Chains A and B, each alone.
Chain A
Amino acid sequence: MTATPNGFNLDTSGRRIVVDPVTRIEGHMRCEVNVDEGNVIRNAVSTGTMWRGLEVILKGRDPRDAWAFTERICGVCTGTHALTSVRAVEDALGITIPDNANSIRNIMQLNLQIHDHVVHFYHLHALDWVNPINALRADPKATSELQQAVSPSHPLSSPGYFRDVQNRLKKFVESGQLGLFKNGYWDNPAYLLPPEADLMATTHYLEALDLQKEIVKVHTIFGGKNPHPNWLVGGVPCPINIDGVGAVGAINMERLNMVSSIIDLCNTFNRNVYIPDVIAIGGFYKNWLYGGGLSGQAVLAYGDIPEHPNNFDAGQLHLPRGAIINGNLNEVHDVDPRDPEQVQEFVDHSWYTYAEPGKGLHPWDGVTEPRYELGPKAKGTRTNIEELDESAKYSWIKAPRWRGHAMEVGPLARYVVGYAKGHEDIKNQVDGLLRTMNLPVSALFSTLGRTAARALESEYCGRLQKYFFDKLVTNIKNGDQSTANVEKWDPKTWPKEAKGVGMTEAPRGALGHWIRIKDGRIDNYQCVVPTTWNGSPRDTKGNIGAFEASLMNTYMERPDEPVEILRTLHSFDPCLACSTHVMSPDGDTLTTVKVR
């Protein structure tokens, strides 16, 4: 038994369970746990199993192009890396953006939050709680009654509607081709919903699949496509022309109307379907309060959605900024990404090497040299891993720390910070939900709390989306159609050397890009992303990361069927392509990469 500095007792003596691949996530991930004889998880090991080297690739490129490269870090949280990147470049070069550009960027970022949260809940997370096979046993009439009880305003609620979906599902199952449901854990006692709730939720899986393609059209209007819309250093690429010659080819009345109607659609879905579903499904799992991990003791948020352009003061952000450590919710620390003492990355248990072992490096000075090697206690071979050795290097993810603390980031972290700071909207939402479900505040620190915070945030972001849409329209009405500042577009106007940082709250949590520019080119680029925080391996001192902490002490119904592990890991919405990519600093190239 080993006690970690952040308060967890690790016991590796029990049976080892390996889950690889962890599915319904973005990218590639592996998880290993030890369970005791009572099937309780006593040790957890989370491993990022991919590395792409994007920041290495960025070196020497035009900083104005960096958004497109970094956007490709992730196609699920598409756009958020691009926004972070243009902010980093603008910060480095002292570029200010117009008010309309701030509103449009906020609308796009909020739109992403909603899309990402909806797709996550229904298409990546729901099958951890919802059993579509069990839905075949449902009575459509009772399902209709359930639907009308949990959400009286949702029009798709007739018995006939549910019967149709059930019939379709029945044929699908009876065909013997189970597709995505193949080999699911459908007879596992961990699934608790009555058939009617399963049918309702499965139906909403399909409704949400139809809806999500509508949500993203906001990106298409402002950015030309989704996934991977276009962005611009200095503003946004879409010009506004409300009523002049050629308005039909710009952001005009018709385009604004479309944005407006999509915003309404998002808000309606959040209100009528997403929030009621989380409450209804959550109600059946109320006693499954595992998965808190670090959420009650160490959370971090950079904040986002600035009210005014070019002002990232904590008080001016609609999504809160702050850090909470040692479980002290009465003190919220401010976060400064420029401070070399605050954000640091360690690699003692990651497949990289530093000149000075045990030392943490600030992203502006970060080093990345890959070194893939398995520890002495690992089982299998280097290309056929059976069990990892977590006392050595075991992940392609680095271990970022805030003032030495392993932190959780994401919707729950934002909501814990917001709640602790007395953020009015967040406090009202959280208190309202807890009241409805008759749960104490402590229930927030759990897998379900993470899932609920995401739903609340989707609803809040929907309202903010509307707010910034109105702001945009008002500004246009006042005669301002400007969308880009091109004063410093030409690299000749730039200083010889510059460095900057961009921060956002990606759907999965705090995201930062650090850039150094030299002679008009990228000299160094470093991203520290949400899943690097959450999926972090152990650090020098032995602190375990957020995923690992959240799995501790969870009871598994059947250790060979990792339903509980998936539940909790999914509650973070892991994004592995984001977390595993790095940059060597100060021009070092990756000398250890083997080229055969």
Chain B
Amino acid sequence: MSQVETFYDVMRRQGITRRSFMKYCSLTAAALGLGPSFVPKIAHAMETKPRTPVIWIHGLECTCCSESFIRSAHPLAKDVVLSMISLDYDDTLMAAAGHAAEAALQDTIDRYKGNYILAVEGNPPLNEDGMYCIVGGKPFVDQLRHAAEHAKAIISWGACASYGCVQAAAPNPTRATPVHKVILDKPIIKVPGCPPIAEVMTGVITYMLTFDRLPTLDRQGRPAMFYSQRIHDKCYRRPHFDAGQFVETWDDEGARKGFCLYKMGCKGPTTYNACSTIRWNEGVSFPIQSGHGCIGCSEDGFWDQGSFYDRLTNIKQFGVEANADQVGMTAAGVVGGAVAVHAAVSALKRAQKKTQDKVEA
């Protein structure tokens, strides 16, 4: 490397004052849910660090993770790519192809042994000797193993890399396999979702650059800062759930009033993600806000949990000695799942317990 440009240099060069820079650091701290004491640390990191090399490889996938990544509003994708990381290999965006692309990959591995982040979008299929996904004439799983060997850490982008996603749904014809079942000796950060929220993706990267460490992970390997609570816990329609006010059918009176979508199959009560807080595309909306239930896309094996319109059967309401079916039932014969009714156990407590279970790892 000849000269090394830090993030701070970039900002100053763009005419941003020291004062604005510090303000930016405060906002970053706030966005990451950190207190004011972290602001100097963020500032220091941004003043001194060269851009971290990132190798971004693609297995069986649909590229929705890359598409989501470029939707990031804070920070902007262009600032991440130009000023924070050095995206030295990404077959979706890089200029070079074929041999030149493979050379770029090898050069990055050789030059930054142990110091680059490997981001994996998609997963390797293991059937047919791995040849259901071919890169450079060889199985993708070879490229994955090769790039992983000297990586500092691995980010498993999205449901594909984290859990297998749609191509791993039954009967998983290609034996699509999540990254952590192939790479066993590296720290892996799972950032699930189909795709993950843009600002969650850039949030995970900037956290690592800023603090020079991996985010705290839950037992499943997901960053606790974004995945430790259920969509239901923070859903703005939660009061309607608690009040027994439900959408009974599409486009009914309840739908137009924004009632709870639980009866339409919403998987918010069992899905750990940040959709109901960070929301999507700069906070414009999220699935429930736009009238469709959550399909649980950040959960392991969500494709094989029955129809997206089957209602969950074991969710209890706050302070109500009945489940949602009984409280909100208006039409006879629509009750989907019979549920054991327990005494009033608040969903909040359940959530807290489950969260603790998950975070303790």
Interface, chain A (partner B; CB < 8 A):
18-28, 30, 49-54, 56-57, 61-62, 64-65, 68-69, 72-76, 78, 119, 123-124, 127, 164, 167-168, 171-172, 174-185, 206, 209-210, 212-213, 216-217, 219-230, 232, 234-241, 244-250, 258, 370, 372, 380, 382-386, 396, 481-484, 486, 489, 560-562, 566, 577, 589-590, 593-596
- Given contacts A227-B68, A230-B287, 9 further A-B pairs with CB under 8 A are A21-B101, A27-B61, A168-B82, A171-B10, A221-B290, A230-B290, A239-B256, A244-B256, A596-B127
**Which residue of chain A has its CB nearest to the CB of B101?**
A23
State whether A577 touches B62 (Cβ < 8 A).
Answer: yes
Please give, as numbers and ranges, the residues of chain B lying within 8 Å of A590 by CB-CB distance: 171, 173
Across the interface, name the chain B residue whose C-beta is closest to A225: B280
Q: Shortest CB–CB separation between residue B158 and chain A, in angstroms?
A: 9
The reply on B38 being an interface residue by CB < 8 A is no
Q: Which of B167, B194, B297 has the largest number of chain A CB atoms within 10 A?
A: B167
Contacts known (A175-B1, A210-B78, A484-B251); A223 close to B290, Cβ less than 8 A: yes
Complex CA distance for A238 and B290, rounded to whole angstroms? 5
**How near does chain A come to B49, taking the closest CB pair, in angstroms?**
12
Cβ contact within 8 Å between A249 and B258: yes
Please, which residues of chain A bring their CB within 8 A of the CB of B133?
Answer: 28, 49-51
Contact yes or no, B137 A385, CB < 8 A: yes
Given A52-B167, A224-B285, A250-B258, verify A24-B86 contact (CB < 8 Å): no
B34 contacts the other chain (Cβ, under 8 Å)? no
Chain A contact residues: helix, strand, loop or mixed: loop
Q: Would you give the shortest CB distance from B16 to chain A, in whole angstroms?
A: 12
Known: A213-B70, A220-B281, A593-B127. A51 touches B132 (CB 8 A): yes
Q: Is B96 an interface residue (CB 8 A)?
A: yes
Which of the residues B136, B171, B259 comes within 8 Å of A21, measured between beta carbons? Answer: B136
Q: Which residues of A contact B92 (CB under 8 A)?
A: 23-26, 124
Contact, CB under 8 Å: A75 / B65: yes
B327 at the interface (CB under 8 A from A): no
**Does B190 have its Cβ within 8 Å of any Cβ on chain A?**
no
Within 8 A of A (CB), among B289-305: 289-292, 295, 297, 303
Q: Is the CB of A180 within 8 A of B3?
A: no
Whether A53 pairs with B167 at a CB distance below 8 angstroms is: yes
Number of residue pairs spanning A and B whose beta carbons lie under 8 angstroms apart: 364
Task: Report which of A22, A72, A176 forms a contact with B3, defined as CB distance below 8 A.
Answer: A176
The reply to whether A21 and B286 contact each other, CB–CB distance below 8 Å, is no
Interface string of B41-52 (1 = CB under 8 A from A): 000000000110
A sample of 21 cross-chain residue pairs with beta-carbon separation below 8 angstroms, ordered by A number, consists of A50-B133, A51-B174, A52-B132, A56-B173, A61-B307, A68-B308, A75-B66, A171-B9, A174-B2, A176-B4, A178-B88, A182-B95, A182-B108, A183-B104, A219-B281, A225-B281, A228-B64, A237-B290, A237-B291, A246-B256, A383-B129
Closest to A101 in B: B251
**Cβ of B24 to closest chain A Cβ, rounded Å:** 17
B25 at interface by CB-CB < 8 Å? no
B249: which of A72, A220, A489, A596 is its contact (CB, 8 Å)? A489
Q: Which residues of A contact B60 (CB under 8 A)?
A: 50, 52, 577
B257:A227 contact, CB within 8 angstroms: no
Contacts of A78 in B (CB 8 A): 64, 67
| Interface bits B126-168 vs A (CB < 8 Å: 1, else 0) | 1111111111111110100000000000000000000001110
Known: A217-B284, A246-B256. A225 touches B95 (CB 8 A): no
Contact check, B290 vs A185: say whether CB atoms are below 8 A apart.
no
- A133 closest partner in B (C-beta): B95
Q: Are the CB atoms of A234 and B71 closer together than 8 Å?
A: no
B interface size (C-beta, 8 A): 113
Chain A CB within 8 A of B238 CB: no
- Mark each residue of chain B from 94 to 130: 1 if its CB lies under 8 Å from any CB of chain A, else 0: 1111111111100110000000000000000111111
Those 6 A-B pairs whose CB atoms lie nearest each other, nearest first: A75-B64, A249-B258, A246-B257, A224-B287, A53-B173, A184-B95
CB of A26 within 8 A of CB of B290, answer no
Contact between B286 and A224 (Cβ–Cβ < 8 Å)?
yes
Least CB separation from B1: chain A residue: A176
- A224 and B280 contact, CB distance less than 8 A: yes
Is B32 an interface residue when CB atoms closer than 8 A count as contact? no
Known: A241-B257, A382-B131. A175 touches B5 (CB 8 A): yes
- By the criterion CB–CB under 8 Å, are B175 and A595 in contact? yes
Contacts of B99 in A (CB 8 A): 560
A213: min CB distance to chain B, Å:
4
Contact indicator B5/A250 (Cβ below 8 Å): no
> For A589, what are the chain B residues with a Cβ–Cβ distance below 8 Å?
171
User: Is B309 located at the chain interface by the 8 A CB criterion?
Assistant: yes
B183 CB–A CB distance under 8 Å: no
Asked if A372 contacts B62 (CB within 8 A), the reply is no
Q: Contact: A481 with B256, CB < 8 Å?
A: yes
B105 → chain A, closest Cβ, in Å? 9
| Highest count of chain B CB atoms <10 Å: which of A119, A164, A372 | A372
Inter-chain contacts of A167 with B (CB < 8 A): 13
Q: Do A382 and B129 have beta carbons less than 8 Å apart?
A: yes
Whole-angstrom distance between the Cβ of B212 and the nearest chain A Cβ: 18
What CA separation (Å) do A452 and B12 show in the bound complex?
39
Shortest distance between the CB of B12 and any CB in chain A (Å): 11
For residue B37, CB closer than 8 A to chain A, the reply is no
